[in-house]
Structure formats: structure tokens, C-alpha cells
Chains A and B, each alone.
Chain A
Amino acid sequence: MTRRHGGHVPIARIAALAALSAFVVALLGPAGLLDPAGILPRTGILEHTPFVERTALGRVWGGNGVVLRNTAVLAALTGALTTTAAWAAAHSHVHHDLPGRRLAHALCLTPLLLPPPTIALALLALAGGNGLLTRHLGIEPIAYGAPGLVLASTLSAFPYAYLVLLHGIELLDPRVAESAADLGADRRHLARREADALRPSLAIAALLVVSHTVANLADPLVLGGDYVVVATRLFEAATAENDLTEAAAHGVALAGLCLLTALAARHLGGRARPVTHRAPVRRHPPRGRGARAVVGVRVTVAAAVALSLAVVLLGAVGLLDRTGPTTAHLHGVLAGPFRTALADSVLAGILATGISLPLGLALGERLARARSARPERVVVLLGAVPSLVLGLLAWLVLTRTGSSAGHLLPSGASVLERRTWLLLVVVLVLASLPTTATTVADALRRLPTAPTNAALTLGASRSDLRRDVWLPALRGVVGAETATTFARSVATLAPVALLATSRTPLLPVELVTAAESGRLADACAMATTLGVLVGVVAILTAPGPPRPHPAPTETRDPWGVTR
């Protein structure tokens, strides 16, 4: 971290201060501040709401701040639980040798590719009022409200924390811990040292989980019960109350929280640090209570994900509600009443992936070449804006403006539907582009410099380099980003929840509606279809076995920029 190019820390602080100020001003200001053009209507039950409660702060603070409090409690509990579990699982993956280690690793990452309410559906089937566990073990149902949300969010957000901590642990030199152990340091002392060394990674992991949890819409809609959080309040205000001021106020709160979280994570983590030493780690079977505990956590998480998958599969063939075995529910998705919703979601996913990948590659290359870190910070902040807020903005544009940018699309469909599709794709691209761009930029910075410098010396052009050096080297990144971008675009609810229409139904919206109205088998069939689709894409785009390449030997990066 150097201050030569714009001063990393001061800029981050100024940006954080500006974001905080904007956030507070937006909350404190009257509704008119959020609505300078008077485009937000005051109809429906809003006609009966006193003026003071119509201020943005009044809206977000409504009911003595219970919605904010619920959100904060959920985020804090999920953040703490997920980060602890992910640390244990990542430590176990790096240090312990066990049968099924790779399978457990794959299962720990699987929630990344699952449609968001999959875990919630499984929890409902297992620990709901009539869940398998509730009935057979005679326990109280825990699927609804805060306990269910914490459990579902913990598993849903687990991969984010797990990946961050895995990377953090791989950065540590294992020889230090091994030498300390050889010299007689006890395990508790070693764990404390690892925690010290991992402090930034732990903080980033926790912040990522918090950000993911507060922006999650699907799980609270399915499991929330009367536990209302900011995301569900925003959704209800927009869809049922037509109270766009309240929706906007909650959108500002959500975006502010996520932006501040991203700034804090950026401040703590700094730039990505590549793993430059690959000193072999001696993996050993777990010995002692502590080791068995961390392995137990990892196995528990993997087993919970596997169980969720199995339960949803059983639900899809009607075995949970005793109507099966039957393929009627899957048939309904593939060839029945939900076929159009599936086709819409698949097309939107393919278009968004097809647009955001090349844009992400191009933007990532520019970020990696940029002499200042400022553009990347802007992209990181854009990536922190919750996709639900992007969806809300698109919905405002769709319902409140008369412009017909839809003429850009082929004729045939109604102008409104063309605008819906245009905004749908724009939202999905914006939801994925920043992540792709920053991932590509990080990957490019990690490339060894020698081949690039040699090629440049020999007169290769940028396009030659791009074709022959960078793109082949980025194969793994492109494969992973294809799968995650497609998963995000085809299966997530938040960005599209407000954009589905009668002519453009979308499967994630139908899924949550089915789950909410008790049609569990239909919901499981939709989750299974989306999961299989994303799984196939992930398998087809997965990178092959890694090819060894020499570690960087210079301090200059491939773009010739000293950092």
C-alpha cells in the first residue's frame, strides 16, 4: 500500500465519509429529498401515514427500528457463525488429511451455484412445522424466523467466507507453525497465532457474509415468518404497497450498509496478495480434540449441504409430500406451465453472461493496467451495491419513465416488454460485471511477468499478448466466472424479483411464490432444474488440472507499472 498514486488510505476514508454522509442525509431528509421530481406516488396505505413517518429515516426506523434491528441481529449472528465455521473448514482443508477431502471441499463450495432458496427449502422440509426431523425427533420447529434464517444464511454465505479464509491460510507459511509445533508450542497457542495472522481475512470474510446476508431476499421471503428484514420490507413496500418512498429509503439503507461494508473490507484487505510461496503443507490425520472439532465442523457443513441437495431432489419427485414418486412437478417446469419462465430465465442468464464476460475481461484488463487504484475502487463500490437495489432502480425506470429505449431491441414484442428485457439484462450484467472485472484484474496481476516482457521486447502487440498469453492464462478464471455469472443471472431472485411480468415470468420468482404458498414439490422441482442447469454449465466450464508456472521473479507487473 503506497500513497504515491493518490493515497490509498486517505481516499478510502474520504470515500467512506462521503458514503456515510450521503447515507445519513438521505435517511434524515424528508421523503422529498429522495423524490425531488415527485415521481413517487403517495397512494394506497401511504395516504394514511403521518408526514413525520413519511421521512426516509422514519420509514427505515418504523416500529422502533425493529426491521433494522432484525437485520443487524441476523447479519451479526450469521457473520460470526459463518466466519467461525469457514475458518475451521478452511484450516481443516489445508492441514488435515481425510478420506473424501475433495468431496467435502466441493460440497462446501456448492451453495455458490445453488438457487438461493434451495437451502431454505431443505430447511423447511427438515425442520419446519411438519419437517422430517421435527416429526421424528419431536423437536420444536426451527425453520421459521431468526433461527431458520441464520441457519439458511450461514450455509448460503458459507462459500464466500470459506474461499477468503482458504486463501488467507494458504498465504501463511506452514513451516512457521510446523517449527513452532516441533519446538513444543501447544495447539491453543498455534491457533491464536493463526488467528492473529488471519485477522484481516477473518474480518473480510465476516464483512462479506454480512453483506451477502443483508442483501438476501429469497431466504427471508421463504423462512422469514414475521421476522421482517430490510430486504423484505423493501420488496413489500415496492410490490404490495406501491410505497416507493419507503422502498427507496430501505434501498438507500441497504446500499449504504453494503457500501460501507465493502469499504471496510477493502481497507482491511488492501490489494489482493497472490500466493507466491507454495511450501508444501504436511497434511496429517486429525489428532486431539481441537483438530477433531475443526474436521467435525467441515464434515457437518458438507453433510448439511449434501442433505439439502438430497431433500430438494426428493421434494422434486414428490416424495416429501407423499404424492410421489412422480415426475409431474419436473415436467411442469420443463414442459408445463413454468416452461416459459424457465426459457425466460435461461435466455436472460445466457445474454447476461455473454455480455458481462467480455466486458469484464476488457474492464479487468484496463483495471490491471491502470496506474491509479481509483478506477478499481469505483468498480469495487459498484459491485457492493446489492442487486436488489439495482432491481429497484430498474423497476423505477420501468414504471416511472416514459422513454422507450426498447426500440433498441428487435420489433415484434410490445414496447414495455422490450424495455423489461432491456432493463433485465442491464441489471443482470451490472450485478456481475464488477466481480468479473476485479477477479480478472487480480488474476492478470498475478501472471508471471517474464513471458509478457519477452513478447513485448520481441515486438508483440497487445492483441497478440491478449490472444496468446493472457487469455490462455485466464482460462481457469474465465471458466469459473462463466459458471458463477450464469448462476447469478439465471437463478438469483433479488435482481429480478421486481421485473417479472405476465409475459416475462421468471423462474426464481415462481420458485419463491410456490414455496411461500405451500407448493413445496413445485418449488423443489424448480430449484432442482435450475441447480442441474447451473451444475452442467459449471462442469463444462471448469478449468482442467492446473499447469505449473514459475513464480513471479520481479516486482514489476506485466503492464510495466510499479506498484
Chain B
Amino acid sequence: MRGRRGDGRRVPAPRAILAAVVCAALLVWSGTEVVREHRRESLSVLCSSVEGLCRGWAAEFTRRTGIPVSTVRLSSREALARLEHGAAVDVDVWHGGPAELYALAARRGLLSPHATADSVAIPAADRDPGGAWTGVYRGNLGFCSDAKALADLGVAPPRSWDDLLDPRLAGRVSTPDPVTSGTGTTMVGVQVRRLGGPAPALAWLRRLDRNVLQYTRSGMAPAGAVARGEVAVAVTFTQHCVRLDSAHRPLLVTYPREGTGAEVGAVARSASSRHPEWAAAYVDFATSRAGQEVGRAVQVPQLPTRSDVHADPRLLLPADVRLLVTSTNDAAGTEAVVARFATEVRP
């Protein structure tokens, strides 16, 4: 890399100079970015919803309040696990994901109650009476199918939980992992309620396991697997299926006739928040009309919890399908079944 000048002193070769310049440029650029990001105080949000929607919420909140937001997307169980580390993980707000996990978090003292400015606009069933969490969207658990792939397999779109056990669907089903995903937890809760107890629920999950190609860490990922053509059917909250429906690959939403589960997607302030006032402002924003309209603006369809925000009719539960589990009432019982799922079905 080096040559010698006439006086015998070494001079760096052009490639060494170029390497030094590239290295210095990368160091300056990345250093500036990182220092800028860390110099300013920002609100730290754990977001358990769609990546684009998480960014949309953060951008709109910053636009309205001027408070910068740092967001990381995690599945809801990963978010709950992270909250359990308290101040060691620097979290201000948790946004998105089924409220039953928020109920667990509240029971463990991980959330800081906040009476939202506009709480009367949210139905009482969709918020914690103590103000620990507030529902900001709803979702119904259903099946997301690639109709063409099912037709190729000679299988009709599923309309019963047991339709997922069809041997022709071996390796063609994707479900969220109950151990990592709140959606998966809801699915387990539905089976317990539908089949009358943990043992038959686990037996059913074991049979389903034969058809599952992939348990995903996140509850919305199974819909992505169907949209990409990896699998034919997914169990997911149906807003994720509607979002990914396209002319290129039409997706079909169906619901089990035996009944299904629902989520109330929530928002809450962390008990260890370093910016409790900013966090309260964020919770107020998320529950406000403006906050609940962000989904439509970033083209992520959602069912709002507020009655004064437009609800996408494609996401409404058909009248003939009943809800087996309300979002938060079975949380503790479901935990025990999820633990057994982790050791007995998918160790």
C-alpha cells in the first residue's frame, strides 16, 4: 500500500487514501446521525402493531406536539417481556397489541394509570377502569386465505376451526406463536373456551401443529406469509389480511362458525417512563379522534374504539359469528395453557 518518494520517505498508496477517506466519511456520517438521535430527548415507544402504522402514529404525534418519538416494533409478548425490566429498558409508552397482555402488565404493576383526556369517547369495555390502559382499535380473529392456492389444493376456504386440520393443508398453514405473540395467545384462549378446557385445547393445537409450516413471532406475520404465497391459510386478526389484499393476490377473510376471539388494541404509559408527561400526551393523542384516524391516512385499515371515527366495514364481524372470548377476561387462565403449549406442543 505504500511507495517511497525520492527522499526515501514513505507515501501512502491511492487505495490507502481512498480507504481512509471512505472510513472517515462513514464515521462522520454515522457518528453525526447517532449523536443527533441521542442528543435530543425523545419519547420511547414500544409498538406492537404494523410497522407503517407505528411510524404513522409517531410522525403524526410529533407533527402535532413537536415531541420527537423513537419507536421499536416488537411482538406484544416481547414488548411485555421488555416492560418487565422496568427502568433498565427505558420505555415510555406501549402502543398496540391485545389488551389482555396489558391487563397482565397492569396486574404486575408495569403500567402507570392515566385518565385520558377524552376517555368518555371510548366504551367502558374497551378501557381499564383504573386507567392503566385504553383501547384504541379493535380486531377480530379470523382466517386469511389465498383463494387460488386453496382451489389448487381442492380445499374450500375454512369456516370452522376444524377445517384447519384438513390433511390437505399440511404445511400450508401459518399461525402466530402463542409464546411470543398476543394474537397467538388470543387463539389459544379461543380454543380453551370453545373446547371447554385446557386439555382438549392442547389436543387440538397438537393436531393443528401437523399442518403448521411456521409459527411466527408476530401476530401480523401470518397474513404476510399468505400474501407472499408461502402458505394458503393464516390465523390472524383480519385487519392485517385486508391490508395486504391486492389485485395481484386476492385474499379472502373468513370466520369460524363456532365463534372466534377479538382484540382490543391498547395503549398505556409505562410505570418506569422517564417522560411521564410526554407519555400522557401520547396516550391522549392515541385515544383521540386524530390518533385513531392515522390508520386510514397510512392505508392500514382498522376498527376504531371511538364511535365518531369511520369503521372499515370489511373488518366488522359478521352477525352470525359470535365472540367466544372477550379480550381481557381470560388472560391469567390462558397463560397456563400457553406455558403448556410451549412445553408440550412446540418445545
Q: Which residues of A contact B (CB under 8 A)?
A: 41, 43-49, 53, 62-64, 66-67, 124, 128-130, 141, 144, 221, 224-226, 228, 236, 238-242, 321-322, 337, 339-340, 342-344, 346-347, 350, 398-400, 402, 412-414, 416-417, 472, 475, 500-503, 505, 513, 516-520, 533, 536-537, 540-541, 544
Contact = CB atoms under 8 A, between A and B. Distances in A.
Contacts of B81: 44, 238-242
B220 interface: yes
Contacts of A501: 44, 72, 89-90
Contact of A350 (B18, B26, B51, B70): B26
A49 B37 contact: no
A20 B172 CA distance: 42
Interface in B94-132: 108
Contact of B230 (A45, A129, A400, A417): A129
Contacts of B339: 45-49
B216 interface: yes
16 contacts: A43-B84, A48-B340, A62-B347, A63-B346, A226-B213, A241-B77, A242-B84, A344-B34, A402-B88, A412-B39, A417-B90, A501-B90, A502-B44, A503-B70, A517-B221, A537-B19
A513 to B, nearest CB: 7
A66 B347 CA distance: 7
A228 B347 CA distance: 8
A343 B29 contact: yes
Contact of A337 (B15, B55, B220): B55
Interface in B291-347: 335-336, 338-340, 342-344, 346-347
Given A45-B339, A347-B34, 11 more contacts: A45-B179, A45-B336, A130-B230, A416-B90, A417-B38, A500-B72, A503-B90, A516-B221, A518-B225, A519-B51, A536-B22
Interface string B76-94: 0110111011011111000
Nearest to A343: B33
A339 B33 contact: yes
Contacts of A344: 30, 33-34
Given A226-B214, A518-B221, A399 B88 contact: yes
Q: Count chain B CB atoms within 10 A of each CB in A344, A414, A501, A517 and give the residue with the most.
A: A517
A67 B347 contact: yes
Given A228-B346, A505-B72, A45 B338 contact: yes
Given A240-B180, A344-B30, A399-B85, A226 B230 contact: no
B72 A502 contact: yes
B9 interface: no
A540 B343 contact: no
Interface of A is mostly: helix
Give the most central of A129, A346, A505, A541: most B CB within 10 Å. Answer: A129
A540 B30 contact: no
A322 B82 CA distance: 37
A518 B84 CA distance: 28
A129 B34 contact: no
Nearest to A239: B78
Contacts of B159: none
Contacts of A502: 44-46, 70-72, 90-91
B218 interface: yes
A163 to B, nearest CB: 23
Contact of B30 (A130, A350, A414): A350
B283 interface: no
Nearest to A400: B88
B179 A540 contact: no
B214 A144 contact: yes
B89 A399 contact: yes
Interface in B166-215: 171-172, 177, 179-180, 209, 212-215
Contacts of B254: none
B91 to A, nearest CB: 7
A299 B17 CA distance: 36
A501 B80 CA distance: 14
Interface string B215-233: 1111011011101111100
Q: Which of B33, B108, B231, B347 has the most CB of A within 10 A?
A: B347
B342 A41 contact: no
B27 interface: yes
B62 interface: no
Nearest to A240: B180
Interface string B37-55: 1110010111000010001
Given A67-B347, A399-B88, A518 B227 contact: yes
Contacts of B27: 347, 350
A499 to B, nearest CB: 11
A508 to B, nearest CB: 14
Question: By CB atoms of chain B within 10 A, which of A63, A64, A141, A347 has the most?
Answer: A347
A241 B229 contact: no
Given A49-B339, A519-B224, A240 B75 contact: yes
Contacts of A400: 85, 88
B15 A540 contact: yes
Contact of A503 (B38, B209, B342): B38
Given A241-B342, A347-B34, A400-B88, A516 B347 contact: no
Contacts of B156: none
Nearest to A143: B230
B250 interface: no
B343 A63 contact: yes
Contacts of B343: 49, 53, 62-63
Contact of A540 (B19, B72, B84, B220): B19
B16 to A, nearest CB: 8
B64 interface: no
Contacts of B179: 45, 236, 240-241
Given A226-B215, A239-B78, A346-B26, A412 B88 contact: no
Residue from the set B75, B229, B274 with the largest chain A CB neighbour count within 10 Å: B229
Nearest to B2: A472
Contacts of B31: 347
Contacts of A413: 38-39
Contacts of B220: 517
A541 B221 contact: no
A128 B224 contact: no
B258 to A, nearest CB: 25
A41 B1 contact: no
A63 B42 CA distance: 44
A366 to B, nearest CB: 25
Nearest to A533: B26
Given A347-B34, A502-B45, A240 B77 contact: yes
A225 B222 CA distance: 12
Contacts of B216: 516-517
A502 B88 CA distance: 13
Contacts of B290: none
A43 B347 contact: no
A540 B335 CA distance: 54
B213 A475 contact: no
Contacts of A342: 30
Nearest to B91: A502
A462 to B, nearest CB: 20
Q: Which of B1, B45, B177 has the most CB of A within 10 A?
A: B1
A47 B335 contact: yes
A53 B221 CA distance: 30
Contacts of B229: 129-130
Given A241-B77, A347-B34, A129 B213 contact: yes
Contact of A45 (B71, B209, B342): B342
Nearest to A479: B1
A226 B33 contact: no
Which of B23, B71, B230 has the most C-beta atoms of chain A within 10 angstroms of its own C-beta? Answer: B230
B225 to A, nearest CB: 6
Nearest to B217: A516
A68 to B, nearest CB: 10
A414 B274 contact: yes
Contacts of B336: 45, 48
